Amino acid sequence: MIKKIIVLLLISICGCNSAQEASEKLRVIEYQELEHQKSLIKKGDKKAVENYNKLIKQVDKLLNRSVFSVVNKVGVPPSKSKHDYMSIGPYWWPNPETADGLPYIRKDGEINPETRNNYTDFVENENFLRAIRDLSNAYYLSDNISYANRALKLINTWFLDADTKMNPNLNYGQSIPGKNDGRCFGIIEFGGLVEILKCLEVLEDRNQLDDETKKGMESWLSEYADWLQNSELGKEEATRENNHGTHYDIQLLNILLYLNRADEVKNHLSTITKARIFSQIEPDGSQPRELKRTKSFSYSTMNLHGFMELVRIGQKVGIALWNIESEDGRSIKKGYQYMVPYLIKEKEWEHKQITSIKSSEAKLIADLNYVSKTLKDTSFDKALHLLNQKNEVKN
């Protein structure tokens, strides 16, 4: 009888430890926004219901369309294997001064349509990552198991199935015809990988992630993280002193977070990312490397938003990046303070900007709301109030 009780106690303790371990595992996904949307839908909020219906209409089309894969491209990488991802630098165009158009020349901010067709993987990759994001959100909001099953099918096709899988590298990303086979800058094109990580977590948390897919993805992601950290292109991208370096950190650290390698995340944030903040943002909050671009407002916002993503990652592992400031006043917060006068139209943007800034403004506003609501920093509340007033007048 005593032996039975001891055995039962041991089983109970093991079960508790296992459950505790699962609950303590850090998550890439943040469920708050999805839960908020779900609550609004249940209450019949008009905009939330409209967005939900639009989402369901989109994902229903994904249930029957063909699968996404790197082997679908028309072009063949220098490796001769279609399993390797390949793309062409978007701002590079045929040279008008040579008969064959080689080597390509750069036109900053102007996208060459040739880089956005089925010759490379760029469009297929973008469509795949968007599909996974939508299927994951639709599954969470609707509980429709067909969306979970479709997401699993697409993930297995892109990453794991022998005939269609992508090799865990970006050796041939953002090449320049006539100059090179691939550059470190191609790494930023895979930033949407975070949508895969979130989807895997949603599936696992709802007991829909089978062991074979889970182990297969952990292996693929581990190999890819190793490539990011140790390949020549990966190491080169890690040293970029602009938005590329920032988004390298986001991509790598989200993968490490998913793989439960929190200590590595902490160390990277408190050393490499910290140094990146101080080297990219001036004491007045400006970002000189982004201001040199032909879409300077967009790139300044893009880089700041990237730093805010790193702030979010830091929140999960106890590294408060938002509060870090150099002796001469460089900080992420200072970067936002620099942008706010232009956001609220107190000042006119004087740097080059060849495209609309509407989406960048929306991104800045979302970040400022996060600062106020989650980080509990009220520094930008006055600006947010003013923006809300302007929005009410428009409506």
CATH code where residue 255 lies: 1.50.10.100
The answer to whether residues 167 and 295 belong to one domain is no
Give me the chain's average pLDDT, please: 94
The answer to whether residues 111 and 223 belong to one domain is yes
Helices (H), the chain: 2-24, 32-43, 46-62, 122-142, 145-155, 193-205, 211-230, 232-238, 243-258, 262-268, 274-280, 288-291, 296-317, 332-343, 358-373, 381-394
Question: Which pLDDT score, from 0 to 100, does residue 395 have?
Answer: 54
Give 109's strand partners.
none
Q: Is it the case that residue 11 has pLDDT exceeding 60?
A: no
Question: What is the share, in percent, of the chain residues with pLDDT greater than 90?
Answer: 92
Instruction: Tell me whether residue 205 is in a domain.
Output: yes
Give 86's strand partners.
172
The answer to whether residues 201 and 268 belong to one domain is no
As for how many domains the chain has, the answer is: 2
C-alpha span between 10 and 90 (Å, rounded)? 59
Q: Is it the case that residue 4 has pLDDT exceeding 50?
A: no
Instruction: Tell me whether residue 16 is in a domain.
Output: no
C-alpha span between 86 and 71 (Å, rounded)? 10
pLDDT tens for 316-374 read 999 999 999 999 999 999 999 999 999 999 999 999 999 999 999 999 999 999 999 99
Q: Is 172 helix (H, G, I), strand (E, B) or coil?
A: strand
Q: Is it the case that residue 177 has pLDDT exceeding 80?
A: yes
Give the residue-averaged pLDDT of 128-135.
Answer: 98
Give the residue-averaged pLDDT of 117-146.
Answer: 98
Question: Which pLDDT score, from 0 to 100, does residue 390 have?
Answer: 79
pTM for the model stands at: 0.92
Instruction: Tell me whether residue 133 is in a domain.
Output: yes
Chosen domain end from 198, 216, 239: 239
Instruction: Tell me whether residue 191 is in a domain.
Output: yes
Q: How far is CA 190 from the centre of its chain?
A: 8
Instruction: Tell me whether residue 11 is in a domain.
Output: no
Q: Among 20-29, 116-125, 136-145, which stretch is predicted with the lowest mean pLDDT?
A: 20-29
Question: Which pLDDT score, from 0 to 100, does residue 16 have?
Answer: 39
Question: What is the share, in percent, of the chain residues with pLDDT greater than 70?
Answer: 93
The answer to whether residues 376 and 310 belong to one domain is yes
Instruction: Tell me whether residue 5 is in a domain.
Output: no
Instruction: Tell me whether residue 55 is in a domain.
Output: yes
Q: Is it the case that residue 135 has pLDDT exceeding 50?
A: yes
Cβ atoms within 10 Å of 389's Cβ, excluding its own: 10
C-alpha span between 355 and 304 (Å, rounded)? 18
Give the residue-averaged pLDDT of 368-387.
Answer: 97
pLDDT tens for 317-333 read 999 999 999 999 999 99
Q: Band the pLDDT of 25: cuts 50, 70, 90.
A: confident
The answer to whether residues 231 and 286 belong to one domain is no
- The answer to whether the beta carbons of residues 124 and 118 sit under 8 Å apart is yes
pLDDT tens for 243-293 read 999 999 999 999 999 999 999 999 999 999 999 999 999 999 999 999 999
Q: Band the pLDDT of 394: cuts 50, 70, 90.
A: low
Question: Which pLDDT score, from 0 to 100, does residue 393 have?
Answer: 62
Domain that holds residue 223: 35-239
pLDDT tens for 37-46 read 999 999 999 9
Instruction: Tell me whether residue 9 is in a domain.
Output: no
Question: Which pLDDT score, from 0 to 100, does residue 302 have?
Answer: 98
The answer for residues whose C-beta is within 8 angstroms of residue 75's C-beta and 6 or more apart is: 86, 119, 120
Tell me the CA end-to-end span of the chain in Å, nearest whole number.
74
The answer to whether residues 310 and 201 belong to one domain is no
The answer to whether residues 195 and 343 belong to one domain is no
C-alpha span between 121 and 370 (Å, rounded)? 34
The answer to whether residues 210 and 265 belong to one domain is no
The answer to whether residues 206 and 266 belong to one domain is no
Q: Among 12-16, 74-78, 92-96, 200-204, which stretch is predicted with the lowest mean pLDDT?
A: 12-16
Q: Is it the case that residue 70 has pLDDT exceeding 50?
A: yes
Is residue 80 left, alpha or beta, with left meaning phi > 0 and alpha meaning psi from -120 to 50? left
Q: Is it the case that residue 8 has pLDDT exceeding 50?
A: no
The answer for residues whose C-beta is within 8 angstroms of residue 241's C-beta and 6 or more apart is: 276, 279, 280, 289
Q: Band the pLDDT of 189: cuts 50, 70, 90.
A: very high
Q: Exposed, middle or buried by CB within 10 Å (0-12, 13-18, 19+), for 385?
A: exposed
Give the residue-averaged pLDDT of 224-239.
Answer: 98
C-alpha span between 349 and 281 (Å, rounded)? 18
The answer to whether residues 264 and 205 belong to one domain is no
Chosen domain end from 210, 239, 268: 239
Q: Which of 189, 191, 170, 178 is nearest to 111 (CA)?
A: 189
Q: Is it the case that residue 6 has pLDDT exceeding 80?
A: no
